Amino acid sequence: MTTKSRCICSGFLCSIGNIVNGEEKERSMKYRMKHAPMGWNSYDYYDTTVTEREVRANADYMAAHLKPYGWEYIVVDIQWYAKNTGSQREKYQYIPFGEVSMDEYGRLLPCTDRFPSAKDGVGFRALADYVHGLGLKFGIHIMRGIPREAAHRHLPILGSDALASDIADPSSICKWNPDMYGIRMGEPGAQEYYDSIVALYAQWGVDFIKCDDICNTNLYVEHPYSAAHEIEMLQHAIEKCGRDIVLSLSPGPALIEKAWHYETYANMWRITDDFWDTWELLYDMFRRCELWQNHVGCGSFPDCDMLPVGRLGKGFGQERQTNFTRDEQKTMMTLWCMFGSPLMIGGELTKLDDWTRFLLTRQELLQMLDADYVGRQVARDLRHAVWSCVNEKKGERYLALFNFMEQPAQCEAALPETEAFADMCGQPGTIRARELWDGTELIVHNDCLSDEIPAHGVHVFRIDKK
Amino acid sequence: MTTKSRCICSGFLCSIGNIVNGEEKERSMKYRMKHAPMGWNSYDYYDTTVTEREVRANADYMAAHLKPYGWEYIVVDIQWYAKNTGSQREKYQYIPFGEVSMDEYGRLLPCTDRFPSAKDGVGFRALADYVHGLGLKFGIHIMRGIPREAAHRHLPILGSDALASDIADPSSICKWNPDMYGIRMGEPGAQEYYDSIVALYAQWGVDFIKCDDICNTNLYVEHPYSAAHEIEMLQHAIEKCGRDIVLSLSPGPALIEKAWHYETYANMWRITDDFWDTWELLYDMFRRCELWQNHVGCGSFPDCDMLPVGRLGKGFGQERQTNFTRDEQKTMMTLWCMFGSPLMIGGELTKLDDWTRFLLTRQELLQMLDADYVGRQVARDLRHAVWSCVNEKKGERYLALFNFMEQPAQCEAALPETEAFADMCGQPGTIRARELWDGTELIVHNDCLSDEIPAHGVHVFRIDKK
Amino acid sequence: MTTKSRCICSGFLCSIGNIVNGEEKERSMKYRMKHAPMGWNSYDYYDTTVTEREVRANADYMAAHLKPYGWEYIVVDIQWYAKNTGSQREKYQYIPFGEVSMDEYGRLLPCTDRFPSAKDGVGFRALADYVHGLGLKFGIHIMRGIPREAAHRHLPILGSDALASDIADPSSICKWNPDMYGIRMGEPGAQEYYDSIVALYAQWGVDFIKCDDICNTNLYVEHPYSAAHEIEMLQHAIEKCGRDIVLSLSPGPALIEKAWHYETYANMWRITDDFWDTWELLYDMFRRCELWQNHVGCGSFPDCDMLPVGRLGKGFGQERQTNFTRDEQKTMMTLWCMFGSPLMIGGELTKLDDWTRFLLTRQELLQMLDADYVGRQVARDLRHAVWSCVNEKKGERYLALFNFMEQPAQCEAALPETEAFADMCGQPGTIRARELWDGTELIVHNDCLSDEIPAHGVHVFRIDKK
Amino acid sequence: MTTKSRCICSGFLCSIGNIVNGEEKERSMKYRMKHAPMGWNSYDYYDTTVTEREVRANADYMAAHLKPYGWEYIVVDIQWYAKNTGSQREKYQYIPFGEVSMDEYGRLLPCTDRFPSAKDGVGFRALADYVHGLGLKFGIHIMRGIPREAAHRHLPILGSDALASDIADPSSICKWNPDMYGIRMGEPGAQEYYDSIVALYAQWGVDFIKCDDICNTNLYVEHPYSAAHEIEMLQHAIEKCGRDIVLSLSPGPALIEKAWHYETYANMWRITDDFWDTWELLYDMFRRCELWQNHVGCGSFPDCDMLPVGRLGKGFGQERQTNFTRDEQKTMMTLWCMFGSPLMIGGELTKLDDWTRFLLTRQELLQMLDADYVGRQVARDLRHAVWSCVNEKKGERYLALFNFMEQPAQCEAALPETEAFADMCGQPGTIRARELWDGTELIVHNDCLSDEIPAHGVHVFRIDKK
């Protein structure tokens, strides 16, 4: 039997992991982890306001309750360098021309009001140490480019004779955040600036960088990939820094015609606009996963965005429970896992209810984030979708029936017409199907898997031959 | 070591081929050949004018000289059903409201003026038999839809109570060919019409259908995939007909956001507009191959279009030798093969010169059309490209250096940064590189493959560890 | 005082009307009527089903009740040549491949089932005579091009050696109607075909041609003015026919960047998609009138489409009263008149209620359709609009206040800031404003006209200096 | 005979000029000059580098040689507030983050290095006085918005409690110039800032403001009219300032669907991208003039951009004579005048050769800039164009024949088919045509004006009846 992995890279490297030619050699390529990252991100609950204390509390919770299931990244999202965040919420999410913490080289630093351990210029070092001490990994959000203030103040760039005003491109801005200027391509000092910030992050112990305004620079409607050179500079800086750092790109939707570039220079890229807890967005994700399913593999994980589950929205001024039904949440988790998306919990961990914890700890689903599991859409129309996921090495096969309707509906998949299962068929009564969420077994008649699926819900089965 | 194939399907089926559950069972899925089709197509040399005698002569040549290398399809392209083709060349390529051969069910038949063996209603049966007798396979071109004349004459549909005028959609036409109306979705008689033509073709012995005006219905700028339902009807008709028929879709460019649909319902789909012998088009194919490289696999072969080599253009009124330089031809063949595109020779076979025959019979390149060979773009910029191709089962690895410049240029690839080769690196002097076109061996210094490549040319190497 | 007319043509001609150099000279330019056409059109009530008896009844009504107010055109809309219209309503508005009445030269004739007086090949002659006998004018709808059936049957063209199949363009079709093929540009026989149909219409006594699928050929998204040459051929045919025939183009929206071409070759052109009785469409017309206001003049009347008032929709399967409120109807009539749009009543005249008749017979508004009245938008925002209309020759000035809100609102216009009224201002208590719909007088304080306007309503004032 | 002017406003105001209700009343509407502005602009010769001495020299020349023909505006174009302009020409036209002269309220001041009379904070007062002393008018270029530096420095706004950082919109920038931020709509302090700068300009004696990055904000592809509110604020500021200031908007192309807004709030607006001395741009202007011809009138002059004649380009690093042939220059002048565009000389006046002075001083053409002259395109195709221009008050009529071909060609216009001339026709031998550029008389046969026109050239005739 031929075996294959989901890996899209063309060859031998993935199979031997990331270690090339021993320890003595500089790493020369992007980090190629075999499993999609799993973690927690501060945005969905805290918006721009998260504090060090809150980050630590979430890390504590993860270490205590989620780590055994593979959850490991703790990511501080946007505006950790800004003062008075959240103070003008009714007018601005991001305060224009507001005060930011920055060193003499135009490198942003954590605002000590919210991150007191960053005092004395140690940055996120102490917080990262704490997270690492729990056996977890630490990540931060950044905006592409260099602070506008650094350019207007003509600050020097570390490791270069150039000034911030030399490398800042005054016509390259973010549509929705006022903090940065994009960095010019090929300008002396440009790579050095990215090197200088990533070196700082590596020194802090950062394991994960979520870079924003870079995956789709949506202000530039006709050039939405206008910051491609900044992706390359950032990846080169990471390769030089001596630390395995996951590079995650936002916002989406990523451009399918640039898939090769994302795969070459990044580890994750958002295939969607900001995802929130509405059925319309969840339904639309099936289209996006169809589009990107051939692009999942070692070190390359198209990203369906954070999981808006549990408690959400406090930083946005209105804390709430997720608007998703339980069936919708199961649909989301099943799709994300079979597709192979990174998983980042958006809800506040310290307020996690039993149901949500149950949702987030299904081992059989979570293991599908390993690149040996290959997910494929089998069918999709306006009423339902079918996905398969197969691990040929282990001989595991899964099939999911999704129901898009507003009411329960009978869904089915003819196994002989489904590639991954055709070889099982033909002998009556020999196929077993066990549902992963509730453990029930289903009898498969006539090689056709058929079941009543709840509204907006899913049943996902492990399929075995008796 | 993990092994993997280029196959994009998610599972076990490909590895066991197309035979599912024994002979007694109806085939229920598309034909999944492991090797991209290779053949000859009448269009580039004959345009709309090819005759039976000419087709046989090309088949004879193929059987005698090319078959050992895997060439097997003989495809009669557009307008085989039309009278007086080529007679109004200065005004029309396709004569509007011209006479066509058609049976009483609105099914087009070969014009007996050009295909005399089709007399007495046997259609292409005799010609197909002849081709099969040579050990080759036989293909035809069709336009999607039903002849306009059938609709205006209200002809009956075989196997249905509906009339042609019931299923013809008067607002669905081809931008460039006046013969057909598209067929309505879900209309009684619609599937039956497609069933009726494919049954006829199967009865003739057709092995390959190239359906036009269906891959990109370019008249409908905002709905270029407006005939998706006709692709599905055609594939269903093929699955019912009891014969393994390759389904090839034209014209391009195919829509990357519909990749899953092409993969589900077709075997080949054109990723480009009509390809001819100009550098601009060849250069642009690198962009297209980058885009589609993750979509090659068993039964699914994105199509770079015919090879305009040797003698071309007679039917267009001006016979000529290909405008490509020899280096450009090598670039084309190398890219098509490493990518895994079907290969259809456009030039007249009976006039094939030695050089072109040499070009078309490089076994080491042609074998890369097997789905076990995985081609990947390693790098690309305005000056050059690098592709790798790997067969993990056999342990073969290839690397190609392409030069886009107007003059010879030094090109190089750092093997440690190239996934497929990284595990070879680190021990000086142990990597061998043999060029496939001229057989020379290159010494690899410092794990970096470097060579001077001719203008618009390529060097492609088999890479081995001593 | 400078006087000026709304006429957009640049000179002396308009002022002397259409009579150039006496009777003995062929007319060489388009018909330049000074007043926008006013009439009734069969579409909004009858769709494709109107019969001769119904047309006559509407003409009778118009002659008896509306003619004194300037209403004069009776227009038979789409499908008068087709059989069994309305018989497949649930599936098709226009029956594909249905039977049409046509003479031996491919010229469509009235279907005698619905238009019995057309028997013996006299066409619309008898009906036109009847309408003329009432002192009214007669108009018909046509689709651009030549019947598809004429092309497929290779019919001859009157006055030419060419055949229908020579001039029909098989790739030029209508998006929504299956009857015709467009006609090729510059093809021998093309102008002759248009000459032949217009000569026939002139012989019938047609005064008004509404040509469809020509103003915006909306199938061709990137070439929505693809039938420009057919407009020119049609106008040339009209100029040759010896009869003053109004040329009206559909459907909209017309392309503002082609304004000069419409003005040069047509008398009316639809500036909107089909207009029906919804507030959204009425509200949007303010934007369209803003856009086209500089293009109204002698012989050139941008067209806001028919007035869906009174009884509507019978032919569409559901007869109903207009959905517009009375205030919305007044808003519509006021805007159409101040702007200078042609007025075509959509409702069934024989069922006209008193209110609607009142609406349609306001002489002071209707006179604004004369090109000496110049309408201009003074202001517009999301809540309201202000229009002025001035006849400098007569010294008449009007001002309308429109309220877009869902509730009554105070609207105002500062007269000193409004060009047409600035010279009146400055002397307290000397400006009189009389509302045209209800006749009330308003006192103008501080040179500011202010009034409470009903929801979606209008007050329109004649402004005079005491 | 009906008389009419080109004025697009709907009424009485234009005819009585700009004086409304006597001197004692504040001006409440935009400045409505009857004649399109004529002047000189520093850009085409000096780019960003012009100095006070050079401006004065050009003013001197204009006063001495061109003023009698109506030339009167002296306009200082872009970057008069910037230091070191031109010093980084090979890299930047506009130096990013460069030093600018600015007062404590964020209002830009002339750079005293280049404009020494601006010392002691008097701004352009002295230079304007000098220009006024010559009997001429003085204009300046500005960028919309507020200096970025003012926002980053949180400067106060004169007449408001707001700071620059409150009103600056950090996401509203210019695509090509790095100096400014756009100003928020409806923000307290926003109107006050525009009031403060226009008050300063009025105090300086500015008669003409050319505001850039406002007519088409071309960075925002989907919202190219994103600064509409800034146009309104600027016009309101002008209305308040107590001085008649022409408001000219750049860059083009203006959006035809916003014509009403331009007409309401500005005096000139660029209907084209930057115009330079190439035939392609000149040829394209015929399309643009066709589009905008109905929008010329008192106070409203669509702008074909500067005249690149004589000596050009010094500030761009390469001084040259215009690339236009003499015939092309005549074509340009004739079209600009008949259409009614403002005329701004781009060439250096002190180096004006005799030919160019001849070109710029044809009184009969220049008078057509008066709004009583109505220009209209009569015909246009790929080979030629015909324009008419008529002053009904004076009884003057003109006709121009333009030849677009690369060689001389016979062009003609049938006068009976040309609206403005039809009433002259019918009596053989009674029409006289005198060419304006060379004074020759042409005999008109058969009411058809026919002449051989040079390549890319024009003959423009005054047409009279004997």
Mean predicted lDDT score pLDDT of chain B: 93
A152: chain D residues, CB-CB within 8 Å: 97, 148-149, 152
Contacts of B182 (CB under 8 A, 6+ apart): B144, B145, B168, B169, B172, B173, B217, B226, B227, B230
How long, in residues, is chain C? 466
Average pLDDT, chain D: 93
Query: Quick check: C273 and C303 in contact, CB under 8 A?
Result: no
Nearest alpha carbon to residue D30 among D256, D245, D185, D193: D245
Provide DSSP, A91-148.
T-SS-TT--B-B-TTS-B---TTT-GGGGGGTTTHHHHHHHHHTT-EEEEEEESSEEH
C-alpha D126/C-alpha D52 separation (Å) is 10
Q: What is the pLDDT of residue A29?
A: 81
Work out the minimum CA distance from B150 to partner chain A, whole angstroms.
32
Position C223, amino acid? H
- For residue A21, pLDDT over 80 is answered with no
Contact state of D294 with C15 under an 8 Å Cβ cutoff: no
Nearest CA in chain D to A218: D220
What is the architecture of the domain spanning B25-371?
Answer: Alpha-Beta Barrel (3.20)
Considering CB atoms only, which of B170, B221, B222 is closest to C97?
Answer: B170
Better pLDDT: A72 or C426: A72
Contacts of D439 (CB under 8 A, 6+ apart): none
Give the confidence band of A28 by pLDDT, cuts at 50, 70, 90: low
Chain C window 281-310: which residues touch D at a Cβ cutoff of 8 Å?
290-291, 293-295
- Exposed / middle / buried, residue B242 (Cβ in 10 Å: 0-12, 13-18, 19+): exposed
Q: Kindly tell me if the per-residue pLDDT of D67 is higher than 80.
A: yes
List, as one string, the DSSP characters of B350-375. GG--HHHHHHTT-HHHHGGGBTTSEE
| Cα A426 from Cα A430, distance rounded (Å) | 9
pLDDT higher than threshold 60 for residue C92: yes
State the DSSP H helix or E strand holding residue A344, giving kind and residue range, or none if neither: strand A343-345
Residue the block writes with tokens 């507020």: D146
**What is residue D25's predicted lDDT score, i.e. its pLDDT?**
38
Q: What is the pTM of this model?
A: 0.94
Containing B74, the helix (H) or strand (E) segment is: strand B73-76
> In angstroms, how far apart are the furthest CA atoms of chain A?
77
Write the residue in B12, B291, B392 that is nearest to A11 by C-beta.
Answer: B392
pLDDT of B416: 82
Domain A23-371 bears CATH identifier 3.90.1650.10: no
Closest CA to B249 of B238, B237, B260, B234: B234
Nearest-CA residue of chain A relative to D151?
A97
Calculate how close chain B gets to C153, using CA atoms only, in Å.
Answer: 9
State which residue of chain C sits closest to B99, comparing Cα positions.
Answer: C152
pLDDT of the residue at A3 = 31
Confidence category of residue B332, pLDDT binned at 50, 70, 90: very high
Tokens representing C194 are 């248009």
Q: How far is A83 from chain D (nearest CA, A)?
A: 16
Q: Do A174 and D178 touch (CB under 8 A)?
A: no
Exposure string of C90-106, with b = 16+ CB inside 10 Å and e = fewer, is eeebbbbbbebbbeebb
Give the closest of B2, B8, B20 to A422, CB-based.
Answer: B20
SS3 label, residue B195: helix
Q: What is the DSSP letter of D102?
A: B
Q: Would you say the C-alpha torsion C110, C116, C122, C127 has a positive or negative sign?
A: negative
User: Given a cut of 60, is residue C80 above it in pLDDT?
Assistant: yes
- How many other CB atoms are there within 10 angstroms of residue C107's CB atom? 22
DSSP letter for each residue of B91-154: T-SS-TT--B-B-TTS-B---TTT-GGGGGGTTTHHHHHHHHHTT-EEEEEEESSEEHHHHHTT
Task: State pLDDT tens for residues C242-261.
Answer: 999 999 999 999 999 999 99
pLDDT of residue C331: 98
Tokens of B2: 């993990």
* CB-defined contacts C:D, below 8 A: 154
Give contacts of B14 with chain A, Cβ < 8 Å.
Answer: 2, 419
A interface test, pick of D84, D97, D220 with most A CB neighbours within 10 Å = D97
Residue to mutate among A92, A94, A97, with most D CBs inside 10 A, is A97
D11/C294 touch (CB, cutoff 8 Å), yes or no: no
Contact of D90 with D381, CB cutoff 8 Å: no
Residue-level pLDDT at C445: 83
Interface test with A, best of B9, B10, B431 (most A CBs within 10 A): B10
Strand order in the sheet with A343-345: A301-303, A268-270, A246-249, A208-212, A137-143, A73-76, A38-41, A343-345
Concatenating the DSSP letter of every residue in A285-306 gives HHHHHHHHGGG-BTTBEEE---
**Beta-carbon contacts of residue A131 (< 8 Å; ≥ 6 apart):** A59, A74, A137, A138
Distance CA C142, CA C107 (A): 11
> What distance, in Å, lies between the first and last C-alpha atoms of chain C?
19
Sequence-separated (6 or more) residues with CB below 8 Å from residue B64 = none
CATH number of C377-465: 2.60.40.1180
The confidence score (pLDDT) of residue D141 equals: 98
Q: How far is C169 from chain B (nearest CA, A)?
A: 8
Report which of A385, A380, A401, A397 is spatially closest to residue A452, judged by C-alpha positions. A401
Could you tell me the CA-to-CA distances from D435 to B148, B463, D401 in Å, in that order?
A: 58, 79, 10
Question: What torsion do the CA atoms of D148, D149, D154, D155 make, to the nearest 10 degrees?
Answer: -110
- Residues in A 103-122 with any Cβ partner in B closer than 8 A: none
> What per-residue confidence (pLDDT) applies to A451?
95
Residues of C in contact with D4 (CB under 8 A): 3-5, 7
> Which chain C residues are closer than 8 Å to B170 by Cβ?
96-97, 148, 173, 178
Closest approach of D375 to chain C, Cα-based (Å): 7
Closest CB to D422 among C1, C13, C388: C13
Q: Measured between CA atoms, how close is B177 to chain C, in angstroms?
A: 8
User: Is the minimum CB–CB distance between A381 and chain B shorter than 8 Å?
Assistant: no
β-pairing verdict for B441-443 and C343-345: unpaired
Whether A414 and chain B come into contact, CB under 8 Å, resolves to yes
Decide if pLDDT at D393 tops 80: yes
For C367-399, the DSSP string reads GGGBTTSEEEEEEE-SSEEEEEEEETTTTEEEE
Rounded Cα–Cα distance for residues C282 and C286 (Å)? 7
pLDDT average, residue stretch C452-457? 98
pLDDT higher at D420 or A435 = A435
For D5, the closest of C4, C295, C377 (CB atoms) is C4
Interface test with D, best of C1, C8, C10 (most D CBs within 10 A): C10
All partners of chain D with 3 or more CB pairs under 8 angstroms: A, C
Going by DSSP bridges, is the β-strand pair D73-76/D137-143 parallel, antiparallel, or unpaired? parallel
pLDDT at A8: 54
pLDDT at B16: 35
Question: Which residues does chain C have within 8 Å of residue B219's beta carbon, measured at their own beta carbons?
Answer: 171, 219
Give the closest of A96, A165, A173 to D96, CB-based. A165
D118, D81 Cβ separation under 8 angstroms? no
- The 10s digit of each residue's pLDDT in D97-126 is 999 999 999 999 999 999 999 999 899 999
Q: Cα(B167)–Cα(B184) distance, rounded to whole angstroms?
A: 5
| Long-range contacts of residues C217-222, Cβ cutoff 8 Å, at least 24 apart | C217/C174, C217/C175, C218/C175, C218/C251, C219/B171, C219/B219, C219/C173, C219/C174, C219/C175, C221/B221, C221/B222, C222/B221
**Lowest mean pLDDT across A117-131, C131-145, D7-21:** D7-21
Q: Any CB–CB contact under 8 A between C416 and chain D?
A: yes
For chain D, domain boundaries: 14-371, 377-465
Of B2, B15, B376, the CB nearest to A10: B376
Average pLDDT, chain C: 93
Within 8 A of C14 by CB-CB distance, chain D residues are 2, 419
HSE value, Cβ hemisphere, 13 Å, CA-based, for D127: 34
**Percent of residues in chain C assigned helix, strand, coil, to nearest 5:** 30, 25, 45
Tokens of D85: 């302009």
pLDDT of residue D262: 97
The string of DSSP codes covering D191-227 is HHHHHHHHHHHHHHT--EEEEESSS--TTSTT-TTTT
Look at A260 and B293 and tell me if their CB atoms are within 8 Å. Answer: yes
Q: Measured between alpha carbons, how far is A192 from A207 in angstroms, rounded to an integer?
A: 20
The reply to whether A170 touches chain D by the CB within 8 Å rule is: yes
B55-70: average pLDDT: 98
How do residues C3-27 score in pLDDT, each as one tens digit? 334 555 544 544 433 333 334 334 4
pLDDT in tens, A84-98: 999 999 999 999 999
Closest to A359 in 3D by CA, of A385, A331, A384:
A331
Q: What was the pLDDT predicted at B8?
A: 54
Q: Are A and C neighbours with ≥3 CB pairs closer than 8 A?
A: no
User: What kind of architecture, by CATH, is found in domain D14-371?
Assistant: Alpha-Beta Barrel (3.20)
CA of A410 vs chain B CAs: smallest distance (Å): 22
Interchain CB distance below 8 Å, B173 and C173 = yes
Comparing C-alpha atoms, which of B343, B342, B346, B242 is closest to residue B299?
B342
Under an 8 A CB cutoff, do C173 and B175 touch? no
| CA–CA gap between residue B364 and residue B397 (Å, rounded) | 11
Could you tell me which residues come within 8 angstroms of residue C305 by beta carbon, excluding any fewer than 6 positions away? C252, C270, C272, C274, C275, C344
Confidence check: pLDDT of A15 > 70: no
The residue among C95, C146, C171, C217 with the most chain B CBs within 10 A of its CB, best to mutate, is: C171
Does the beta carbon of C15 lie under 8 angstroms from any beta carbon of chain D? Answer: yes
- Nearest Cα of chain A lies from the Cα of D221 at a distance, in angstroms, of 7
CA torsion sign for D195, D197, D198, D204 is: positive
DSSP annotation of B265 reads H
